[in-house]
Structure 1
């Protein structure tokens, strides 16, 4: 009832509103529901909720990009993604190692991998509103949206390498499995399958439309159905379902025909809004506030705050300031600084951390091994960074708008 006032006048989006409402409804306030006390299925539910929301968001970004966008902008996109993610992964791992002495470097790499992706849901909420249209150039909005979608899927290789190094008996076995499974089977096969399914459905929908079998509303419904179908197929065989969803969205809208059929329709926007709001309500209630001060695990508020500041300052800004000359979509150092600052963490970080937790042993109290210690601290650290990222970027946006007025 007050969405226009809140989003377009106060510049607070559904991400912040959903998270705040989740905190209020969660176990630390009203105690209406508590996702962390749903028994042994808590992590499975969290993982699948994040997976569905991410997949629909990634598919939507692929569809909304200009036709054949990846074909024309692949160079700049790869420069923004691979070296930037690699730099942030190693630097953040080094900071984690320094702040949390109970973790070794491999465990720090696992946590840092969860923080490498830029969240596409928060990205869409920020670069798609009136504020962004007024203040952010179109070329920058497109490249940031594409990067946020692609790097969620490309977080898999960083995570899988660190996980294999943690659980395998030797580095040779770990690196071999990473190359074959983490890179070829998950990333390359996942992207290829997503693109093939997107192209196949694109041709099927064109044929059905020419024969008069398909109405306009069905094109909109296919957007949601195809994203869920893609992650269902690809995740079943164990490949990178998030990258597949983005590839399918780009492929199905490659020539612009699909986008022309759904342009002006609000159903997909409403579905995205409902899923996103529900997801951040879930995240707000899921936040483990009581664990943010766990001295027995080496976790204290001051360490978490220092890590948050280091992540915001070092994860993206330095590499993009160094590399922006090789990104045609970024025209100067100011845009590079904005792009470096623009690295929200949210659903993607929660998803990757939950996925990592599913591959680690259940921790005892106290933890009996490095893998158990990692499992006990992983989501506590990641959830604090996610919460801090949402709060700080909202405050910065409000300050910028106040200055512009």
Structure 2
């Protein structure tokens, strides 16, 4: 009689990876018309895995701080490349007016408000409150796919989708000065070292300026190699969209070697690369591969997030932290968004959508992990619990509302929501 031995862990992992890849390909189609999102499903699966009797699997970010920082970093930079490649709108100060409003007004107001909530409302130290504000203010480029523009040259780029895509692309880099400010203040409190000069000259002026310049130069270089060298040797001839991943990693690596903001550089690289030959079909190949890598990495990360939630990541929460998390999602971002859009020529429904869908997620995980790994803030367990709860609230609330809201907005703008992919749910918040 045939008997079956227990499968090796390696075989179980192979099977699990296969199932995950199948879900990456299939779930977006299955969820297209439903008020449900892929991230919600991934978190639920991750939590369910941990709850299986005898399953010793607790991937807490507190237990693996370095891995958490690096993995979230990778997911974000791939998402930033994808976001930049799919923007059709030419860069200009006037055309990108909505972006500048969200960056220059909405994000600083959000940081200020969240810092105040953390310091006065939650009793955190002011350095920890500032780190919390800097971590939770940026709109996430990873979990916001359903409210972003569609693939290159598909016509799925209305003002709302453009604003949220460009904001998510740029504010991840521009939030870093505030994270570094929190680190500088924490170090200064412990050592008494002066911080103002270094923060202004290095963390603000140098890192932002150099990040933009390096990103632009690398994008131009890859654009020339891809589209403009002799036909038999240009990279577009390969038909291999992995070129976009190469540009992502090189841009980020070179920028970090030069000690400037890699997130900002990667997004600028994508914009510069796209500008090199805006209508070339190869942009579709590059965007497709970045989207696939991003989605797969995002699903793995959210499975781990769900497992961490089930494993007790929220255990350090206090009742006021729950109220604060709700206020950050329901009051701070919408109010700051509407203030930033005062006088902006758009319909009220568009302004409300731009203000509401300030999605928090993977970027917030990265900034918090980075801050905690570079300075001592205290109450790390509570900070992680607050950020995790805000991300969970955002994923669930925005995931349940994005499909009906974006479909309704498409109808108001005279578009059929069933024609394109930008309004379809499944891969975003």
- 2:32 is equivalent to residue 8 of structure 1: yes
Deviation at 1:65, TM superposition (A): 0.3
Match of 1:384 in 2: 389
Deviation at 1:116, TM superposition (A): 0.8
1:50–1:397 CA distance, 2 compared to 1 (3 A): same
Mapped to 1, the partners of 2:405 and 2:235 lie a distance apart of 46
Deviation at 1:154, TM superposition (A): 0.9
1:350–1:385 CA distance, 2 compared to 1 (3 A): same
Match of 1:117 in 2: 138
Q: 2:362 aligns with which of 347, 357, 376?
A: 347
**Which residues of 2 match residues 70-149 of structure 1 at below 5 A?**
70=92, 73-101=95-123, 103-127=124-148, 138-149=158-169
Q: 2:330 aligns with which of 313, 317, 326?
A: 313
Deviation at 1:172, TM superposition (A): 8.6
Match of 1:57 in 2: 79
- Note the alpha carbon deviations across 1:203-259, whole angstroms, 9 max, x for none: 122234523454544451111111012112222333211111101000111144475
* Long gaps (5+) in structure 1: 362-370
User: Which moves more between the two structures, 149-158 or 8-17?
Assistant: 8-17
- Could you say what the CA RMSD is over the residues aligned between the two structures, in angstroms? 3.1
Deviation at 1:71, TM superposition (A): 5.6
Q: Decide whether the 8 Å contact of 2:79 with 2:291 is kept in 1.
A: no
Q: Decide whether the 8 Å contact of 2:128 with 2:378 is kept in 1.
A: no
Match of 1:338 in 2: 353
- 2:65 is equivalent to residue 43 of structure 1: yes
Mapped to 2, the partners of 1:214 and 1:140 lie a distance apart of 33
Normalization by structure 1: what TM-score? 0.84
Mapped to 2, the partners of 1:18 and 1:346 lie a distance apart of 13
Mapped to 2, the partners of 1:76 and 1:4 lie a distance apart of 29
User: Which moves more between the two structures, 245-254 or 3-12?
Assistant: 3-12
Q: 1:168 aligns with which of 188, 197, 205?
A: 188
1:203–1:116 CA distance, 2 compared to 1 (3 A): same
Normalization by structure 2: what TM-score? 0.79
1:34–1:176 CA distance, 2 compared to 1 (3 A): same
Q: Decide whether the 8 Å contact of 1:346 with 1:386 is kept in 2.
A: yes
Deviation at 1:392, TM superposition (A): 1.7
* Long gaps (5+) in structure 2: 1-21, 412-416, 418-429
Mapped to 2, the partners of 1:288 and 1:179 lie a distance apart of 41
- 2:400 is equivalent to residue 395 of structure 1: yes
How many positions carry a matched residue from both structures? 382
- Is the helix fraction higher in 1 or 2? 1
- Note the alpha carbon deviations across 1:72-121, whole angstroms, 9 max, x for none: 533331111121111011111112223322x1333211111110110111
- Note the alpha carbon deviations across 1:353-376, whole angstroms, 9 max, x for none: 000111123xxxxxxxxx323x34
Mapped to 2, the partners of 1:314 and 1:37 lie a distance apart of 28
